[in-house]
Chain A
Amino acid sequence: MLNLDWATVFLAMGIHIIMALSFYLAYSCGLISIAQAGFMAIGAYLASWMPVNEGWEFYSACLLGGGAAAVVGTLAALPALRIRGIYLLLLTLGLNEIIIVFFYNFEPTGGAEGFYGMKGYTQNWNVWLLVAVLLFFFDRLERSRVGRAFEAVHADEEAADLMGVNLTTTKLQAFALSAFIAGIGGAFWAHFTRAMEPVNFNVFVSIEFIIFVFVGGMRTYWGAVAGTVLLTLLDEVVLRNITIAGVELRGMAFGAILVLMMIFRPEGLLNRDPFRFLRKRRAAA
C-alpha cells in the first residue's frame, strides 16, 4: 500500500508511547505536567553527550539521562506540592520553557545549533521491549500500594490525606517516576533522530503527548497506548499525505480531534476497564 517506512513509523510510535505513559503516570496521581518535553530534553542531551564525548555505553547513558530528569522533576515537584490544577499546569509550562532556554544558551551542547553525532542505537526491538517492560510495570503499579495511593490522590486529595496517604511522598514519587520515564524516552528519541535542537522540546511537543493520552483515555494506561497508536497511524498514513496548497493539515486535525473529544467524550476513548467485554460481567462490588 502506501509508500511508508514502516520500521521508522513503529519506532516513532514506540517512543511516543513511552512519552505518553510518562505523562499518564503523573496524571494518575492528579498532577498535570506539561514539562514532559523538557524532561525529555534533559534525558536526550545527557544520553547523547555521554556516548558521543565520553564514550559511555548507550544503556547506562539512558539511565543517567532518566536519572537526571528525575532529579530535576523532583526539585520541580517540591514547590508543586502546594499547588494544583491550573497553577501546576502553568508552573510546568514555565519549567519546560526554562529548560529549553537553558539548552539554547548552553554552548557545550551546541546551543541553538543543536547537537549531532549520535550513533543510532535505538532500534525497534529495544524500543518495544521497553514499552513492554513499562506496560508490565504499569500493570503491577496499578495493583501496588503506591499505585493505589496515586489513585486515591487523584480522586480526592483531602480524603487520601485523611486515609493516611502521605501526600508529599506520593506526589514526589509520581513526579520523579514520570520525569524518569520521560528522560529515558528522550534518550531513545535522540539516538533515533541522531540530531536535535532545543526547539524539538518545546511546550507543543509536551502537548502532543497529552493529546495522545486525552484522546486514548486518561484513566488507564491502555488509553495512552491506544491514543498514541491511533493518532500516530492517522498522522503517518492519512494526515501527512493530505496537503492543501503544500501545507500539511496535521496540526489543525490534531487540534480539531482534541476539541471534538472534549465535547463528545471528555474521558477519552477507553475507560477504566477497556477489556470488560472479554470477561463475564463482574458482580457489583
Chain B
Amino acid sequence: MILFFQQLVNGLMLGSTYSLVAIGYTLILGTLNLLHFAHGEVFMMGAFFGLLMVLFWKVNFYVAILGGMLGAALVGILVEVLAVRPIKKGQHLAPLISTIGVTIILQEAAHYFSGGEPLSFPETVTVTNFDLGGIRINSVQITIFAISVLLMFVLHLFVKNTKMGKAMRATAESPTTATLLGISVNQVTIATFFIASALAGASGVLVGLSYNAVTPGMGVPMAIKGFAIMLLGGLGNIYGAMIGGLIVGGVEILSVGYLASSYRDAFTFGLMILILIFRPSGILGVSLSKRA
C-alpha cells in the first residue's frame, strides 16, 4: 500500500506539469479554435531557455522558470504572428498544417543549437527528502507541484476577474459577437498565445529539472500527453485540463509501477483513443456541436 501511495504522489507531482501544457492546448483551441501542433515544441524551447539562463548567467531556479516562461511566450507569439496570422481566414485546416511545419522547424533548430546531446541542470536546488509515514517526497517534487498549482490558480483568477480574461471567454463563446462588442480579437489572440506559451515554458523548466535532462525530443511525448489530457478534460475547458493532467500523471506512474514500463507511452495513446471512441466530449465535457 505504501508503494501505491508513493507512486500516486510521484504521479500527481508529474501530472501537475502535464496540466500546465494541456491548459495551453485547451486555451488556444477553446479561444481560437486552432489545434496548436507546435505547442509541445514551445514547451521544449521553454526548457532550453531556462537551462541556458542557469548555465550562462548562473541565475537561481525561480529566475530560470521566469526566463523559461518569457522565452516560451516569445516563441509562442512569434509562431502566431509568422505562421498562423498570415493564413487566410476560413481555411480551417491550413493553420493546423502550418503549425506542424513550425514543429519541424523548432525541433531541428533545437537539435542544431544543442548538438543533439541531452543537457542537464547543474545542482541549483538543494534536495531534501521528507518522510511522510513511509512515503518519500523530495523538495524538488514539492517545488514543482507548488509552482504548477500556483500558476493554475493565477490563471483561474486572471480568466475570471480581469478584463482580458472576460474578453478571452467571450471570444471562445463566439468570435463574431465578441468583435461586434468591441473586443479586439487580435489582442485576445496574442494574450492567449502569451499565456499558453508561458505556462508551457514553466512546465518545460520544471520537467527539465525533475528528469534532470533537456533534449530537443522532449516536446513530442509531452505534446501527445497534452492532446490526451485536453480530450480527457473536454476541449476548451481549462479546469478539465488541470484535473486531466493529474489523472494522466497518476495513472501513468501507476502503470509504470505495476505494468511494463516500456508500455508507458502506449498507455497515454490508448487512453486518448478510448476517450475519442467513448466520450469525445471529455470528462467535464462541453458540447461538441460548437466545434465540428
Bound CA–CA A4/B260 (angstroms): 45
Chain A residues within an 8 Å CB radius of B228: 94
If A87-B280, A101-B263, A262-B87 touch, whether A94 touches B273 (CB-CB below 8 Å) is: yes
Find out whether the CB atom of A252 lies under 8 angstroms from the CB atom of B108.
yes
Give the Cβ gap from A30 to chain B, nearest Cβ, in Å. Answer: 11
Q: Which residues of A contact B260 (CB under 8 A)?
A: 105
Most buried by A among B88, B104, B260: B104
* Closest chain B residue to A263, Cβ basis: B86
What's the least CB distance linking B92 to chain A, in Å?
Answer: 8
Inter-chain contact B276/A87, CB cutoff 8 Å:
yes
Closest B residue to A79 by CB, please name it. Answer: B277
Which residue of A98, A207, A251, A257 contacts B270 across the interface (Cβ within 8 Å)? A98
Using a CB-CB cutoff of 8 Å, which residues 201-217 of chain A contact chain B?
203-204, 207, 210-211, 214
Contact (Cβ within 8 A) A259 B83:
yes
Q: Check B97 against A94 for contact (C-beta < 8 Å).
A: no
Distance (whole angstroms) from the CB of A164 to the closest CB of chain B:
22
Give chain A residues whose Cβ lies under 8 Å from the Cβ of B93: 32
Rounded to whole angstroms, the CA-CA distance of A2 and B111 in the bound complex is 28
Interface of A is mostly: helix
Inter-chain CA distance A104–B35, complex, in Å, is 29
Decide: A256 and B105 in contact? CB cutoff 8 A: yes
A254 interfacial contact with B, CB 8 Å: yes
A117 at the interface (CB under 8 A from B): no
* A82 at interface, CB cutoff 8 A: yes
CA distance A216 to B262 in the complex (A): 38
Contacts of A95 in B (CB 8 A): 269, 273
- Selected from B100, B262, B280, the residue in CB contact (under 8 A) with A83 is B280
Q: Check: A120 CB closer than 8 A to any chain B CB.
A: no
Interface residue tally for chain B (C-beta within 8 Å): 43
Q: Which of A84, A211, A255 contacts B292 (CB 8 A)?
A: A84
Cα-based distance from A87 to B288 in the complex (angstroms): 11
The reply on A134 being an interface residue by CB < 8 A is no
Which of A83, A90, A258 is close to B101, meaning CB atoms less than 8 Å apart? A258
Whether B269 lies near A97 (C-beta < 8 A) is yes
Q: Which residue of B lies closest to A95 (CB)?
A: B273
Does B112 sit within 8 A of A, measured CB to CB?
yes
Contact A266 B105, CB 8 Å, known A97-B265, A97-B269, A207-B100: no
Residues in B with CB closer than 8 Å to A266 are 87-88, 91, 94
Q: Are B103 and A255 in contact (CB under 8 A)?
A: yes
Given A83-B280, A91-B273, also A204-B104 (CB < 8 A): yes
The reply to whether A247 and B97 form a contact with Cβ atoms under 8 Å apart is no
Instruction: Please indicate the chain A residues that have their CB under 8 angstroms from the CB of B272 in the complex.
Output: 90-91, 94
Of all chain A residues, the one with the shortest Cβ separation from B276 is A91
Please judge, given known A-B contacts A101-B269, A256-B101, A266-B94, whether A85 and B292 are in contact too, CB under 8 Å: yes
Q: Is the CB of B262 within 8 A of A94?
A: no
CA distance A102 to B269 in the complex (A): 12
Kindly provide the distance from the CB of B167 to the nearest chain A CB, expressed in whole angstroms: 24
- With CB as the reference atom, state the residue of chain B lying closest to A105: B262
User: Is B224 engaged at the interface, CB distance under 8 Å to the other chain?
Assistant: yes
B97 touches A258 (CB 8 A): yes
B111, closest chain A residue (CB): A247
Complex: A191 Cα to B224 Cα, angstroms: 31
Partner of A262, one of B94, B107, B270: B94
Interchain CB contact (< 8 A) of B97 among A105, A214, A252: A214
B98 within 8 A of A: yes
Within residues 66 to 83 of chain A, which ones have a CB less than 8 A from any CB in chain B? 79, 82-83
* Cβ contact within 8 Å between B273 and A79: yes
Please give, as numbers and ranges, the residues of chain B lying within 8 Å of A101 by CB-CB distance. Answer: 262-263, 265-266, 269
| A97-114 contact mask (Cβ, 8 Å, vs B): 1 or 0 | 110011011000000000
- Within the complex, which residue of A79, A90, A204 is in contact with B227, where a contact is CB–CB below 8 Å? A90
Q: Is B231 an interface residue (CB 8 A)?
A: yes
Report the Cα distance A95→B268, complex, angstroms: 11
A263 with B87: CB separation less than 8 A: yes
Pairs across A and B, CB under 8 Å, 10 listed = A85-B92, A86-B96, A94-B224, A101-B263, A102-B266, A252-B105, A252-B108, A255-B103, A256-B101, A266-B94
Beyond known contacts A207-B100, A258-B104: 5 more, CB 8 A cutoff: A82-B280, A89-B35, A105-B263, A204-B104, A249-B108
